[in-house]
Structure 1
Amino acid sequence: MDVDDLRQRLEHERQALPLSNQLLQSLCIDYEKVDAALAWQQQSASHHLICFSDPLYPPLLKQLSDPPPLLFAKGCVEALALPSLAIVGSRNASPGGLQVAYQLATDISALGLSVCSGMAMGIDGAAHKACVDHQRSTVAVLGTGIDIVYPRRHRQLYENIQQQGCILSEFWPDMGPFAGNFPKRNRIISGVALGTLVVEASRQSGSLITARLAMEQGREVFAVPGSILGGYHQGCHDLLRDGAKLVETAADIVEELGSLTAFYLEELHSSHHIQDDEICDLPFVSLLASVGYEATTIDAIVEHSGKTIDLVLEQMLELELQGWVIAVPGGYVRVKRS
């Protein structure tokens, strides 16, 4: 891709964005930076520029009223093709909150879902770390330029995320940490995901912005309840009163997202002509996303996965032989892989 090609592509896609004329006029692309963007892309094979029409552009992000026309990405961009859950919460999380975030991220990623968050301290970091520790996909959406590590103490996490997932930003690579950019990036965290889980949040927590945006985007919102003492969970309790799904285990999330995940994958496959094993090294992703930690009936798996019963039975047998599920009276149960 040369300079003229990128300029023409960006201008065409700016006009094609689902925005009002007033917003389109305000969304002026600084073409003086195009050379710098291309130079940045060419620095490494792991550097990627993703335009709105690019097959790698997160499909759910296109549904936003103000989607970014250009994304900078580092790492394994194929992670963007996976259905994902956003996990967010307090930067000053309690030890218990960090443990819950880590465990839920571990269990959700084991189902074949990618975990998306903002690489902040606290809950965000715990969710990313769970995926890194178990060599599973995670996407970190930055409120800075993609080359700026913030907070600095997450330098190693920033590097590790790129091995199984990717770093994502709409800001130019050298953009520093300006306060106004972090609420703006939250729309991308919720926008790329099927749903948003808030693990621990006070009423002043910025993670509630992400939850509110998820609601406005028509996505599922989940919250973990907690003690009424200390104020750590007031924001989560408010979300639950407003209709968020109460979460104690990953099964509570899969119950809501199972059919959405299957639909997402079917749409992705039909639009890009790809198979499960081309976007993820987990086998039969839509089936794994349809089986919970409690007994799931064959009828439910067939309905959620969108596959024929013969194919479901064949693939479930293979999953059982590989140690992903076990057969129990009444259906199947998802288990951790050894």
Structure 2
Amino acid sequence: MDEDTHALLRLLDAGGPSAPRRRLLDRCGTPPLALAAGERTWREAGLVAAQIHALAAGPGPSACVRDWLARPGHRLIGWHDPDYPELLRRIQSPPLALFAAGDADLLWHPAVAVVGSRASTAAGRDHAREFARAFARAGLAVCSGLAAGIDTIAHQAALAAEGATIAVLGSGPDVPYPRANAGLLRDIAAHGLVVSEHPPGTAARREHFPARNRIIAGLGLGTVVIEAAQRSGALITARLAADAGREVFAVPGSIRNPQARGCHRLIRDGATLVEAADEVIVALAPMARSLADALRTRLHGPICAPEDTSAAPAGASAHDDPDYQRLWSAIGHDPSPMDQLLERTGLTTAELSSMLLVMELDGRIVLEHGRYYRKS
């Protein structure tokens, strides 16, 4: 385990309010420097006595956490990390760090939160399947909470469409809840992304779920509610999404369906009534472009035109960049899978994924069924 990760785990173990620890990281720059800053700096950042004591005398990460992080595809992404998702930074109380299993690049992928009732009806499950499949085919990741009912169907539909899905847990990233979704959790970790602000081994607790919902809402460009009772976690997610300035969409249902009353209440309160996934996709396009701009800043460079400027898409940058030139030349009009593009360009998977995402958000390429090609 590297020094940065070890120090970040010490900061996490300090517990208590996260805002003072985020301020400490902002001031010091890295977790090791934050730990080395000493009690005076800790107090100035707003840490309370219990946090200061924990930082001064903390035993360090447990064997469970160390073992989990040592496995391939597992990461801890902290507030100080450039890979920390831009959209999550904008919510009212962003987590200090995320434990991630799977493709962490999906944290920067445009996503839609799809949430709803655990006690869903057959019609609600059909709607969740239809919307999630359409989002996945449009290149949007489907973000949900791995709960029974609508969440489960949304994750399964995105995977079946060979699209991206993100599961946000109210337990440790290795603890499925409900237990019946253990297989689905493994599938998402293998083909999508599992994230949690709780360390591995943490059991699901009732008080974790409202906090989990803020991460679901924070990672999505918008939140779609498909069936929700008058008092439900889905309505909490919708409220948190609205508080974060995100779009909230609700699918109406029968007036005789008690699981539709929460959606009807959202519509009365100003949520957008939607009957098809395309309505959501069109509404979220401007925010997707904003995310692309933030990603360009993270990558420190624009999308650049190939040497053959006659073949470049309209609006391509006049400033040449060899990596983007090489990638654009490698993408043809026939669909190419990721491994083929890796072979053609010689780029790393992380570099390629990031650049493909920006090109996709710019509307220059299309992703369908895991293959990329130039948009006509």
TM over 0.5: yes
- Alignment match of 1:231 (pick from 247, 258, 262): 258
Cα distance in structure 2, aligned partners of 1:26 and 1:252: 50
C-alpha distance in structure 1 between counterparts of 2:222 and 2:67, whole Å: 32
Residue 212 (structure 2) pairs with residue 201 (structure 1): no
* 1:25 alignment counterpart: 48
Secondary structure, aligned partner of 2:258: coil
The answer to whether 1:173 aligns with 2:200 is: yes
Contact 2:146 2:169 in 1 (8 A): yes
User: Larger radius of gyration, structure 1 or 2?
Assistant: 2
Deviations 1:259-303 (A, max 9, x none): 110121122122224769523867942255xxxxxxxxxxxxxxx
Q: Which structure 2 segments of 5+ residues have no match? A: 12-20, 28-42, 304-350
Of 19, 24, 27, the match for 1:15? 24
Residues 1:218 and 2:245 are matched in the alignment: yes
Once the two structures are superposed, what CA deviation does each residue of 1:3-28 show, in whole Å capped at 9, x if it has no partner?
5763269657452469x989743893
1:258 and 1:63 map into 2 onto residues whose CA distance is 18
**Residue 72, structure 1, aligned to residue 99, structure 2:** yes
Alignment of 1:185 onto 2:212? yes
Q: Which amino acid aligns with 1:286?
A: L
- Residue 40 of structure 1 contacts residue 47 of structure 1 at CA under 8 Å; is this kept in 2? no
Aligned match for 1:139, one of 160, 163, 166: 166
Equivalent of 2:268, from 216, 241, 249? 241
Map residues 258-269 of structure 1 onto 2, 5 A cutoff: 258-269=285-296
Moved more, 65-74 or 38-47: 38-47
Q: 1:326 to 1:45 in 2, by over 3 A?
A: closer
Matching residue of 2:2: 2
Superposition pairs of residues 90-109 of structure 1, within 5 angstroms: 90-109=117-136
CA change 1:14–1:35 in 2 (3 A) is farther
Partner of 1:118: 145
**For residues 280 and 246 of structure 1, what CA distance do their matches in structure 2 show?**
34
TM-superposed CA distance for 1:217, in Å, is 1.0
Give the Å deviation of 1:227. Answer: 0.5
Question: Measured at CA, do residues 150 and 194 of structure 1 come closer, stay the same or move farther in structure 2, by a change above 3 Å?
Answer: same
Q: Distance in 2 between matches of 1:5 and 1:245?
A: 42
Deviations 1:107-156, CA, capped at 9 Å, x for gaps: 11111111110000000001100111122111100001111111111111
The answer to whether the 8 A contact 1:10-1:51 is kept is no
Write the distance in 2 (CA, Å) between the matches of 1:218 and 1:77.
Answer: 24
Mean alpha-carbon deviation: is it higher for 35-44 or for 179-188? 35-44
CA distance in 2, matches of 1:215, 1:22: 29
> Following the alignment from structure 2 to structure 1, what is the Cα–Cα distance between the partners of residues 239 and 146?
19
- Structure 1 gaps, min length 5: 289-311, 328-338
Could you say if the C-alpha distance between residues 105 and 27 of structure 1 is closer, same or farther in structure 2, counting changes exceeding 3 Å?
farther
Q: In the alignment, which residue of structure 2 is the partner of 1:82?
A: 109
Give the SS at the match of 1:56: coil
Q: Is the 8 A contact 1:190 1:196 kept in 2?
A: yes
State whether structure 2 residue 54 is matched by structure 1 residue 45: no
Q: Name the CA distance, whole Å, in 2 between partners of 1:164 and 1:217.
A: 28
Partners of 1:53 and 1:121 in 2: CA distance? 34
- The one-character-per-residue Cα deviations of 1:142-175 (angstroms, maximum 9, x if unpaired) are 0011111111111111011122211100012111
TM-score, length-scaled by structure 2: 0.71
Distance change in 2, residues 1:178/1:242 (3 Å): same
Q: Aligned match of 1:278 in 334, 349, 353?
A: 353
Contact 1:49/1:72, CA 8 A, preserved across alignment: yes
Q: Distance in 2 between matches of 1:27 and 1:121?
A: 37
In the alignment of these two chains, the number of paired residues is: 298
C-alpha distance 27-80 of structure 1, shift in aligned 2 (>3 A): farther
Taking a change above 3 Å as real, the CA distance of residues 2 and 97 of structure 1, as seen in their structure-2 partners, is same
Which amino acid is 1:172 matched to? Answer: P
Question: Contact 1:277/1:283 (CA < 8 Å) preserved in 2?
Answer: no
Confirm or deny: 8 A CA contact 2:25 2:80 kept in the other structure. no
Q: Secondary structure at the match of 1:71?
A: strand
TM-score by length of 1: 0.78
Among the aligned pairs, what percent are the same residue? Answer: 37
Note if contact 2:292-2:362 (Cα within 8 Å) is conserved in structure 1: no
For the aligned residues, what is the CA RMSD?
Answer: 3.2
Letter in 2 for 1:285: E
